Amino acid sequence: MAGKLVIVESPAKARTLNRILGRSYSVKASLGHVRDLPRGDLGVDVDKSFIPKYVIPPEKKKLVGELKKAASKASSIYLATDPDREGEAISWHLTQATGLDKNDRLVRRVVFHEITNDAVQEAFRNPRSIDMNLVNAQQARRILDRLVGYKLSPLLWRKVQRGLSAGRVQSVAVRMIVDRERDIQDFVPQEYWVMEVELAPFEEEASFKARLFALADGTKLDVGSKDEADRVAAGLEKAEYAVKTVVTKQVARQPAPPFITSTLQQEAWQKLHFTAGRTMAIAQQLYEGLPLGKEGSVGLITYMRTDSTHVAASAISEAREFIADKYGAKYLPPKPRSFARKSKWAQEAHEAIRPTQIYRQPDQLKAFLDSAQLRLYELIWKRMVASQMSAAQYNVTNVEIEASNTKNQTQGYLLRASSSVVKFPGFMVVYSESRDEDDRRENSDSIGVSLPKLRTGDKLTYLGISGEQCFTQPPPRYTEATLIKALEQKGIGRPSTYAPILSTIQGRDYVNKVDGKFRPTELGITVTRILTAHFPRIVDPGFTAQMEEQLDEIAQGKYEWIAALQEFYPPFRDMLDKAWTNLEKVNMTQASEETCPKCGRPMVIKVGRFGRFLACSGYPDCKTTLPYMVKTGVSCPLCGGDLVKRISKKKKVFYGCSKYPKCQFTVNRKPMAQPCPDCGNLLVQYRGDWAQCVACKRKVKSSETEKQKEEAAL
């Protein structure tokens, strides 16, 4: 007999395991799933206990034959697919597709969370059988998604338009974006004024600003109009100022735990501008192994699909040793840190995402990793190291100041100033966590200023007052980071599903990403309205979270997967039957300004499976179609034609000349109306408030382009 056969999912993982296991093992890759439900057919017998009909896709039949042949010659077989439900299901499908389940030889399942010598050798010393609880949880999810997708899609095709589809989890994500957009549209701004007084201690030059927040008796004061602001300002100008209280305390800021899947995706978006899909693709490469010169292929991080912040004791010990060596004992807390997940569905058997070796510092990998791989590895490495470091220490001073007018005996006011000074940086010498827009808004009222030494009772000199008119802001649109955070908080989806959810809802043209933020399309709004009216449970976040919990219970052996399907399907079937009867056809066609180049009739805007397109209103007599192009109002720098927004076959937004194919000018970033102040060429959006010239690469602040626009108007 030949040697031992190991089957994994990917060639990269196979290369890394080959190096670790040596010549006595033959490592083959299955290239993902080798069986699935059939395409174009439900593949589930809803009348017979939801028995699935699995098939081997045509493109996998040759590979399955090769694996079957290799297995027949092997002395023993190890299934080393990923350590989660999907990986467990792939292993089970491999046994079914290749006939290994009927083989007398023992088929072993090996599980490891990092592809290192120690972890792999330990896994092979302790193999187990396939965990059917995990397999059944995956089967239940797959069948649930198939039932919703294949039963709802024909309804949407008939009642709305062809090419549409719905998903059990994705539809909830779209609803969240639609609901947020509705909140934004319905939001009524409220005026308020921020009043700040510049003060200084007597006979001192150092001044500071204090913000008005209450009347003298402690009643919160909201200044809501210019007249009120002027009245308050008049009183503050005549007031006498004295320090009422000074409170200084030391505040500790603790480091964030090491990454889980959702926090890695959020932070990679905030710090690196990586989409969730790109983050997971790069993390997969780091996990499966990359060639490091003479070392060969090495796994650099632990498994990247996890919801646990647990870290192995050996990794914590290595991190603490590294911190002591590099930063000194004062940066090391007395005891190792542990981070317990508050989430009731966290799988503590898994580990957090961390480097496989702390001493493998990012700088040492520059020669072997590309830019994106290095940046993501550095993010993971810094987060893990910082998580075991000492807290940062701040001296926080809060000063309350009383403004009184003893001459006129009018109502006094209370003002507040604060300062926060880093006393000891602690973990921040390595890493500091980003804050998303929601967090920034919650803390927007605090002002940190440099304060002179102040004592209770000190008299202060009035130097001036400023009042800024502000308006309350609507809730922000979701970014990739905040949507993933919201999905996780609501219990919707799991580590393996966040990136596919975001990819799917954009690919179906239900949402667009504008300036990094999600906005629903008209199609997304319409489909959400229909699903909310006729399938309220399907798009209910609470019900979807409940289904996720049920799947977790199946994975733990606490619930039968067939029972879960039997509970779900009958109510869903009833809603479906009623919708076929009661839902009237929706007309998604919109008028356009274009005319048909063949027959001269008006063209209309339609939405297909690949997005919007123009179609002749004379259909079916005239079947002319054209790409739908959104004009930007900016001229092509080559020929003077209109630059229009286009969408590639891979759903990527770009901007090109409307005279294509005669003119093939394109840019990936949104064009700006103002020309470059240096060379007069085209400016495109760069990052944040910055624009960049396509020719000379000059970077321009948006305020400069606005100033340029005003000067041109004059």
How would you write 171-225 as a 3-class SS string?
A: HHHHHHHHHHHHHHHHCCCCEEEEEEEEEEECCCCCCEEEEEEEECCCCECCCCC
Rg (C-alpha) for the chain, rounded Å, is: 31
Helix and strand counts by DSSP (H, E) for the chain: 18, 28
Dihedral sign from CA coordinates of 98, 102, 106, 109: positive
Coil, helix or strand at residue 202:
coil
**Residue 512: Cβ-neighbour burial (10 angstroms; 0-12, 13-18, 19+):** middle
Whole-angstrom distance, CA of residue 375 vs CA of residue 708: 36
Task: Cis check for the bond before 620: say yes or no (omega within 30 of 0).
Answer: yes
Q: List the catalytic residue out of 25, 241, 287, 303.
A: 303
* Number of neighbours of residue 197 by Cβ within 10 angstroms: 25
Map tokens 């006393």 to a residue: 423
Q: What's at 239, amino acid-wise?
A: A
Taking alpha carbons only, the member of 462, 10, 428, 465 closest to residue 211 is 465
Cα–Cα–Cα angle for 289, 324, 321, rounded to 5 degrees: 45
- Give rounded-to-5 percent helix, strand, coil for the chain: 40, 25, 35
Whole-angstrom distance, CA of residue 58 vs CA of residue 42: 18
* φ and ψ at residue 683, rounded to 5 degrees: -100, 140
Whole-angstrom distance, CA of residue 430 vs CA of residue 358: 13
Coil, helix or strand at residue 39:
coil
Whole-angstrom distance, CA of residue 387 vs CA of residue 430: 10
List 210's β-bridge partners, or say none.
197
* Number of neighbours of residue 388 by Cβ within 10 angstroms: 24
Whole-angstrom distance, CA of residue 299 vs CA of residue 288: 5
List 26's β-bridge partners, or say none.
5
Give 396's contacts (C-beta < 8 A, 6+ positions apart): 248, 249, 250, 251, 418, 419, 420, 421
Coil, helix or strand at residue 653:
strand
Taking alpha carbons only, the member of 435, 445, 524 closest to residue 476 is 435
Whole-angstrom distance, CA of residue 599 vs CA of residue 523: 28
Q: Is 241 a catalytic residue?
A: no
Coil, helix or strand at residue 705:
helix
* Number of neighbours of residue 247 by Cβ within 10 angstroms: 11
- If you count them, how many residues does the chain have? 714
List 204's β-bridge partners, or say none.
none
Contact in structure between 482 and 502 (CB atoms under 8 Å): no
Taking alpha carbons only, the member of 454, 471, 445 closest to residue 196 is 445
Two structure tokens written together for 542:
């609470």
Longest dimension (CA), the chain: 105
Within its chain, how far is the Cα of 295 from the centroid?
34
Whole-angstrom distance, CA of residue 693 vs CA of residue 675: 8
Whole-angstrom distance, CA of residue 378 vs CA of residue 372: 10
Q: Which residues are catalytic?
A: 303
